[in-house]
Chain A
Amino acid sequence: MMGVLRDRLDAFLGRGRFSTAVPVMDGPLQPNQHLERAAVLASAPALDNLVALRDGLYCSSGQQLMRIRAGTAEAVASYGVQISCMASDGGEGLAVGLARSGIVLRGGPHDGRAFAGLGNQPLNCPTAALFLDPDTLLVANGSAQHGPEQWQHDLMTHGCSGSVWKIKLATGHAELLAQDLAYPYGLALSPAGEILVSEAWRHRIVALDANKPAYPPRAVLQDLPGYPARLVAASGGAGVGVNGDAIGGGSGGGYWLAIFAPRNQLVEFVLQQDAYRQRMVASIEPRFWIAPALSSWSSFREPVQGGAIKQMGQLKPWAPSRSYGLVVRLGSDLSPISSWHSRADGRMHGVTSLCEYQGQLVLGAKGPGHALGLDLDGEQAR
């Protein structure tokens, strides 16, 4: 009763759960334009799902599996539906998540196996996968209602039907580790054996036990200024500071986190305005929604906010925007250490995937469709 009353009061006053405030980017998240200056390794439309196999660096572009070599991305295979996640078993094996079609395995000991569903429900939105060992695969199903191409629908309908599963590849036995997640989008394994899941719509990272289900999961990093996508364990601890100083030194550990879109006051506000949101979802094309996006300013029919109106011919870097480029280096305790940005006036927006490959951190900016390289030895980031 009190809770209901307080909710009504909060809604009226615009505070608490109804606040439109978003966390500011400050401290280790202080904005810079490092992503704009990063080297472009390859380009492909909607480049996503970077993953390193023994024989090279792979990515996806829509339905196609591509291999990046010598500055170009060449198609290796096509799957007929959009590839929504990929994971490497460290050898030849590759797990490929397909929109509304589950997971198929390519190469390695389980070549050709396919899992269209998990338990008794379809795996329609595989957003991330991770090999625990060559025979065990973790899969995040972003949403039970929407496919990966409808991620904006899922956010704008307050979707929280995501789940994380553990699949024994040999038997096909699937075990539910967590459910009711708001779009799990990245999976990583901590040195202690915990599974870290980036939960996009709740702007946080949660930890799961790999061996038994956990409800509700434990939040380990909260109040991110954007929607987190893939989370990757960093090797060796060769993080690069904002000023080019190596961070972490030999202490090791830590993670790379891709944040694919910024939180925005107007979006937070629209998320609370049910009448407007429903009419928007029902009657407007998603690319023109007031919703996060992977890239902006490609059409004049996109919504524009006051601070984003060009003044004296300039779009301000601090302008509120629906898309942003952000990669965060997290320490082994998951606290942010440093970050690489592409701001509102930049182009390298919508970084969804990350992969360490040959001494570089390779980032997939899905918005413009570029794979960017950041050298891990501290030279590049300046």
Chain B
Amino acid sequence: MNTMETLARLRYRYVPDHVVGEVLSKRWADNAIPFLALIVALATFGALNPGMFSHAGLRDLVAQTAEFGLMAIALTVVMISGGIDLSIGSIFALCVLATLAALNVYNLPLAAALLLCLAVGAGCGALNGLLIGYLRLRAFLTTLVTLILFRSVYDIVLPDLATQIVVGNSDSAAWASLGSGSLLGLPYALLVAALLALAWHVLLSRSRPGWHLAAVGGARRSAHNAGIPVKRVVFLAYVCSGLLCAVAALLYAARLGSIGSDTGVGTEISVLTAVVLGGTTLGGGRGSVAKALMGSIIVLVLSNGMLQMGLVGSTSVMILGVVLLAAAWLDTRWAKNRHKLITSTYVSPAYLEMPPCPATDEGSGSVYTPNDRLHDVQVIGLGQVEGPEDVLLDRDDNLYCGSRHGDVLRFFAPDYQRHEVYAHIGGYPLGMNFDREGNLVTCVGGMGLYMVTPQRQVVKLTDETQRTRFSVIDDSRIRLADDLDIAPDGRIFFSEATVRYNTHDWSSDMLEGRGNGRIICYDPRDRSTRTVLSHRVFPNGIVCLPDGESLLFAETWVGRIHRFWFDGPQKGRVQAVLDNLPGYPDNINRASDGNFWVAMVGMRGPAIDLSLSMPGFRREMTRRVAAANWLLPNLNIGCIVKFTAEGQVLESIWDRSGINHPSITSVKEHKGHLYLGGIFNNRIGRWRIPGADPQWTGPASYWGDRP
């Protein structure tokens, strides 16, 4: 049994299960399957045709990839917008015809020929865009018709010019070198295509127009509601598609210099195969340049390979068709199940061995013996506040708290009967404290660190820190800032409970029990933000010690409180203060006698403690059981503990039945009373502390008496 335990512990310590879900949740994870297909295709046909990787073979492949890839990008752009463009083959042919006619027949200057070609492409695309974007015709039918229309135009014009095109030639040296020249061993055509591909990659993945395009394709109505000009975006997608076809046509014309009646015939099917094979969704909203290029190479390798193996045209077209069908089937399965796959792999519990829980039984004589001392609590704002995670009192005894509606509320002293919205922030205000100037600094779940000035201006202090090296998910954005405290020199230390989940998914993080959280320091002097301590299990409450170089922080799900030195000779040291609490510590705050209050958000139970050392059980549970039925810590009990900085527990104060104050998340002392907040509660509690200093206030303790 012990060896098994050790093995399990080692396995969960060193196998990074959580990376699987993180990788899958990346947008680029979609590319894994097409990438594998590409490798397989290259290996198979490379083995069958030794000539393929020869210099000539590669050169041929590269030249084709440039043209074919551009057309694949053209189709990708349209498909991301939720449409389809079957006419690209015909547009391509028309553009080739226009270029060669301009150069070989009418001997126009190169620039004019290029412009003419682009204009033809853009014009054809604009016709499609007009019909589909503005007149709202079906993309499939419309482009099927324009495919025939453009092809007819081509067929009508071609016989008149064909001979002259073949006989004549351009005297432009630049044109000749575009066809056959190279730079650093790379053909110009490839460079042009690569440059365009790069530009489109940036445009699609990192620019506003690209996001608009994906938004329109992903959810047309939502895009409209979000203020995106849907019709114009669709129109422009087709114009861009036409332009890209025109560029492809230019490269083709420069490479071959001639034209035939079958130029561009059937291209749309192979390009469509390439795009779908690359992983661009037929339904719109998802696709990328990389996918288009991967698909293109697969299709080219496939068709070239089949050609070299001596398969006749119709057979290879049939095989391509079968590949297209298979890719389309895979696409729908993937789009449907991708989300399921992520949710079933993202939560990856870690191994946690909890020490035996301290005694909490009646009559055990333990300092943690439950009692009903909170029985006579005075209730403030019952039903008027929702979720006051933290509470705060100013020098004039007014009471502040956050609410899940995104407000900071203020209850007026002395009776706290009236209240007002002090400031609207928009995110969920959690930990709060005053700085030296009287600004109310607050951690806002989902938003970062904010402050409300005495003039009630809401100011963002920070919402970003440096990204952890080698992290898969981008953890630079602050997701769940939880509690804060301010050092004597003005630096703000705050905890981010987890970088893997949002506020409302705290239960997933609990079941994971992994060191997903960190402590971040914001320095108002140079407005810098940096992570000072990471890989902590749900770091929650924070309180700075008066020595100016250390702080106490709570790791909620492991029931521990640590002291961390952020300055001074012991800088960087972390020392346990309380390493085995009977519950889950939340916010920590100063007490008037120099000790500290810690609110317990819930208490430990044997069933959940046991599950912490069985990560496989917890992972199965998150997969098999609905979230409302998950085994979670008992948060239906209220407990407050007072302890010294040396780690001695002085007393515990309970609401044993959890009637007024289950899940206490914060306690603040003020003039002889404790004020209690709870993240799941609809009231604030005020409880008289026997024998406490009736003059002590938080602001005075931190910043001295008012000047």
In contact, B620 and A273 (Cβ under 8 angstroms): yes
Binds A, one of B125-133, B324-332, B622-630, B692-700: B622-630
Determine if B610 and A305 form an interchain contact, defined as CB atoms under 8 angstroms apart.
no
Closest to B511 in A: A306
Which residues on the B side are within 8 Å of A264 (C-beta)? 629
| A309 and B624 contacting across the interface, CB-CB below 8 Å | no
> Whose C-beta in chain A lies nearest to the C-beta of B4?
A275
Q: Is the CB of A301 closer than 8 A to any CB of chain B? A: yes
Contacting residues, chain A, for B629 (C-beta < 8 A): 264-266, 305-307, 320
Contacts of B628 in A (CB 8 A): 305-307, 320
Is B610 a contact partner of A310 (Cβ separation < 8 A)? no
Residues of A132-164 at the interface with B, using a CB-CB cut-off of 8 Å, are none
Residues A310 and B605 in contact, CB atoms below 8 Å apart: no
B603 contacts across to A, CB distance below 8 A: 300-301
Indicate whether A14 sits within 8 Å of B681 (C-beta atoms), given known contacts A303-B631, A310-B636, A313-B662: no
Residues of chain A from 305 to 353 with CB closer than 8 A to chain B in the complex: 305-313, 315, 320
Q: Is the CB of B621 within 8 A of A280?
A: no
Given A300-B605, A303-B605, A312-B680 in contact, is the A20-B625 Cβ separation under 8 Å?
yes
CB-based contact B632/A305 at 8 Å: yes
On whether A266 and B680 interact (CB within 8 A), knowing A273-B617, A306-B507, A310-B636, the answer reads: no
In the complex, residue of chain A having the shortest beta-carbon distance to the beta carbon of B637: A300
CB-based nearest A residue for B680:
A311
The answer on a CB contact under 8 Å between A283 and B635 is no
Does A115 interact with chain B (Cβ within 8 Å)?
no
Residues in B neighbouring A311, C-beta threshold 8 A: 680
- Contact flags (1/0) for B582-617 with A, using CB distance below 8 Å? 000000000000000000001111111011001011
Query: Contact: A288 with B606, CB < 8 Å?
Result: yes
A310: which B residues are within 8 A, CB to CB?
635-636, 658, 662-663, 680
- Within the complex, the shortest CB–CB distance from A150 to chain B, in Å, comes to 18
Q: Closest B residue to A284 by CB, please name it.
A: B606
- In the complex, which residues of chain B have a beta carbon less than 8 angstroms from the beta carbon of A273? 617, 620
Instruction: Report the separation of the CA atoms of residues A58 and B635 in the bound assembly, to the nearest whole angstrom.
Output: 40
A15 to chain B minimum Cβ distance, whole angstroms, is 10
Which residues of A167-197 have CB atoms within 8 Å of chain B's CB atoms? none
Q: How far is the CB of B9 from chain A (nearest CB, A)?
A: 15
A285 within 8 A of B: yes
- A276 with B636: in contact, given A301-B606, A311-B680, A320-B629 (CB under 8 Å)? no
Within 8 A of B (CB), among A269-317: 269, 273, 275-276, 279-280, 283-285, 288-290, 297, 300-313, 315
| Residues of B637-673 contacting chain A, CB below 8 A | 637, 658-660, 662-663
Q: Residue on B with the closest CB to A290?
A: B607
How long is the Cα–Cα vector from A308 to B630 in the complex, in angstroms?
10
Who on chain B is nearest to A289 by CB?
B607
The residues of A that contact B682 with a CB separation of less than 8 Å are 312-313
Let me know if B634 is at the binding interface, CB within 8 A: yes
Residues of B within 8 A of A283 (CB): 606, 610
Chain B residues whose CB sits within 8 angstroms of the CB of A285 once the complex forms: 606
Give the complex CA separation of A273 and B631 in angstroms.
14
Interface residues on A, range: 20 to 34
B607 and A309 within 8 A (CB): no
Residues of A within 8 A of B662 (CB): 310, 313
Please tell me the number of chain B residues within 8 Å of chain A, measured between CB atoms: 43
- Residues of A with C-beta under 8 A to B632: 304-306, 309
How distant is B108 from chain A, measured CB to nearest CB, in Å? 67
Q: Are B635 and A303 in contact, with the CB atoms below 8 A? A: no
A301 contacts which chain B residues (CB < 8 A)? 360, 603-606, 634
Known contacts A312-B680, A313-B681; is A305 also within 8 Å of B607 by CB? no
**B410 lies within 8 A of chain A by Cβ:** no
Q: Of all chain B residues, which has the CB nearest A302?
A: B605
Query: Chain B residues with Cβ under 8 A from A20's Cβ?
Result: 624-625
Query: Closest residue of chain A to B611, judged by CB?
Result: A276
Give the Cβ gap from A315 to chain B, nearest Cβ, in Å: 7
CA distance A307 to B360 in the complex (A): 25
B89 an interface residue at 8 Å Cβ cutoff? no
How far, in Å, is B401 (CB) from chain A's closest CB?
Answer: 14
Q: Which residues of B contact A306 (CB under 8 A)?
A: 507, 627-630, 632
Most buried by B among A265, A276, A302: A276
Q: How many Å from the CB of B584 to the closest CB on chain A?
A: 11
Task: Indicate if B278 sits at the interface (CB-CB under 8 A).
Answer: no
Pick the contact of B635 from A269, A279, A290, A309 — CB < 8 Å? Answer: A309
| Chain B proximity mask over A28-62: 1 for CB below 8 Å, otherwise 0 | 00000000000000000000000000000000000
Q: Are B617 and A304 in contact (CB-based, < 8 A)?
A: no
Contact status B636-A304, CB under 8 Å: yes
- The answer to whether A313 and B683 have CB atoms under 8 Å apart is yes
User: Shortest Cβ distance from B12 into chain A, in angstroms?
Assistant: 14
For the complex, is B633 an interface residue (Cβ under 8 Å from A)? yes
Q: How far is the CB of B430 from chain A (nearest CB, A)?
A: 17
Contact residues in B for A308 (Cβ distance below 8 Å): 636
Interface check B390, CB cutoff 8 A: no
Q: Nearest chain-B residue to A280 (Cβ)?
A: B610
Q: Determine if B614 and A276 form an interchain contact, defined as CB atoms under 8 angstroms apart.
A: yes
B386 within 8 Å of A (CB atoms): yes
Give the residue of A266, A288, A289, A297 whose beta carbon is less than 8 angstroms from that of B636.
A297
Contact between chains at A265 and B625 (CB < 8 Å): yes
Q: Which residues of A contact B680 (CB under 8 A)?
A: 309-312
Distance between A320 CB and nearest chain B CB, rounded to angstroms: 5
Determine the chain B residues whose CB is within 8 A of the CB of A269 once the complex forms. Answer: 620-621, 624-625
* Chain A residues, Cβ within 8 Å of B611: 276
The answer for the CA separation of A3 and B398 in the assembled complex, in Å, is 70
Rounded to whole angstroms, the CA-CA distance of A100 and B683 in the bound complex is: 51
The interface residues of chain A lying within 8 Å CB-to-CB of B623 are 14
Q: Is the CB of B626 within 8 A of A265?
A: yes
Give complex CA distance A284, B608 in Å: 11
Partner of B607, one of A275, A288, A315: A288
**Could you list some 11 contacts between A and B, CB below 8 A?**
A14-B624, A20-B624, A266-B631, A273-B620, A280-B607, A284-B610, A300-B634, A305-B628, A306-B629, A310-B635, A312-B386
Which residues of A does B touch, CB under 8 Å?
Answer: 14, 20, 264-266, 269, 273, 275-276, 279-280, 283-285, 288-290, 297, 300-313, 315, 320
List 14 extra interface pairs beyond A305-B628, A305-B631, A308-B636, CB under 8 A: A20-B625, A283-B606, A284-B610, A285-B606, A290-B607, A301-B606, A304-B605, A305-B629, A310-B635, A310-B636, A312-B387, A313-B681, A313-B682, A313-B683
Q: Which 3 A-B pairs have the closest CB atoms?
A: A307-B628, A312-B682, A303-B607
